[in-house]
Structure 1
Amino acid sequence: MSSSLSLKCGLLLGLLAFPALARELEEKLRIRTLQVPAHPGQEAPSIYVSAQVASVLRFEQDIVPTKTRLLAWEGRFEPLLVGSKKVVIEPLRDLDEGEALPLHVTLADGTAFTFLVRPKLRESWGWIDYQVNVFKDPGSYNAVLSGLYDALNRERALREENERFKKEENSIDHAYATLLSNGEVGKTPFRRKRVFRLRHEDMDMVVELFKGPGKAAAVATLRNTVLEEAWTLEGASVTRDLSLRTARPFALRMERSVIVPGQSGRIAVVVDKSSFELEGGQLADLAIQIFRGDGLLQVAVAMEHALVRQ
């Protein structure tokens, strides 16, 4: 499908569900500290994994390979890699929502742990455990140091998010995206150039492309036709070739955060001319991808650079 980007038109790339791997490693890959429950009766801690991404558990002592096993892994995971103080888990495919596979780990001193291996955590962009540092003694030097690094990382992430929110509040592109998502096209400088319609098994979709002075926009109107399940937005990306390395800035607003069965909602994306520019001032076409709450690709559409020409 990516070859379609070479066409000099606002060609609809697709409105189907594709694997979340299309976003490469836009997922949040995290290193975190895990202190083992003090009482055996407490619920086993969870480890969050994603298809074809290796997750590492790191312990304070060597591990006994013969007493370390993942239940029901055959055909769904690569064989566990167990060596020294580490256990490596790699799913062949994503786990189903709600699945939890027991992982038993035994250390050299006889300490036994049980973890529940689950599908990635559904945050705004997902959460995959890249590395989990497991400690028995929360007061040990390594546990305190690891916890400190965790706290510093969280503080940095919150600071960056606050800065982003401040910029968005004063951004003209986000103001335009808000108007478009509310259906107030007449209050913006955009003119509609193309409309695409597609009916999927669980969603009716209309995608509109808009031309503006030094900017381009797209509005996706989704109507949830599923009887049981609400639709949520996980995130979006604007790239030159559907890869993370060519990601470009954009503004996004959604009419409502959840689209319940029978309801419609609009998602607006505004892209400034600077995002289309290559070195030397030439312009390149871009692609918009919109991902739904389960990590699958719902909408993909090409945005031609001619939309931002004066």
Structure 2
Amino acid sequence: MALRLQNRLKSTGAPPLVYSNRTLKRGEALKAEGAIPVDDFRAVVESTDVIFTMISDDAVLNDLVEQALSLESIQGKLFMDTSTVHPSTCSAVAKVFQGKGAYFIASPVFGASPVAAAGKLIFAMAGPQDQISRVSPYIQGVMGRQIINMGADVQKSSLLKISGNIFVIGFQELIAEAQVFAEKTGLGTGRMEEFLGGMFGPVLESYSKRMTSGAYAPPLDTPPGFAISLASKDIRHALAIAEESGCQLPTLATALNRTTMAREYAGEWLDSSSVYGIARIEAGLPFWSEKSRQGN
């Protein structure tokens, strides 16, 4: 996302992107394109008027907000978070920034890393409408292919993202069970995957490939596509909201149980699709497949 934004700024002669990260060396590709690294988030906020954040969980976002509030003034600055956090967190952050004369847009994104690299993400944006117009030129055709305007209530975009993840995680859970079924019955995972692609398209086929290729438990030098810790956080948000709303998400409850068991069994360096490994154990198969890291 950041690289595509920097390339657009560079091509239009605009000032370069200023960036920071918990591991700053991960921004070397940005630096090579002319973006400016700084040591911490406060320096990012001080040097620009439009600030994008992408973080792992609600606690990190709250910490960044505190850092921003410690500055003498953030009047007129626009903060746009593209992470998946609880709706109540979005509401609280928006209220705090409004009290300081700043603006907040909650804009979680839909799409994995390859989609981001292609600039094809979907942005669910909620917040002050004039500020959405202000930031849209940096989104449409740059980092994203579509903006879903969720209105002024920042909780709505968060709810949409969490709802979307019900599908993502639910599909992964169902495919894991189907692929274990295919292996145990002798149908074969290859035939099942061919059917998934033909019947339901490339997205569900790609979820299956994360399991059959062994990417659910990738080598320790290869980052997971959707880290299991983030998936577990998103599942907990969905289950908590469902309970508050008086409804149930039994498929996600099963997925949470399996992600918890996977983390206990194989550690944190797992993809969200590692529910497949636990489904395998429950069917009398090993957690690791021939193509996962322990099978190589």
Q: Give TM class, smaller chain.
A: under 0.3
TM-score w.r.t. structure 2 length? Answer: 0.26
Higher strand share: 1
Higher helix share: 2
TM-score w.r.t. structure 1 length? Answer: 0.25
Give the structure with higher Rg (CA): 1
Question: Higher RCO, 1 or 2 (CA under 8 Å, sep at least 6)?
Answer: 1
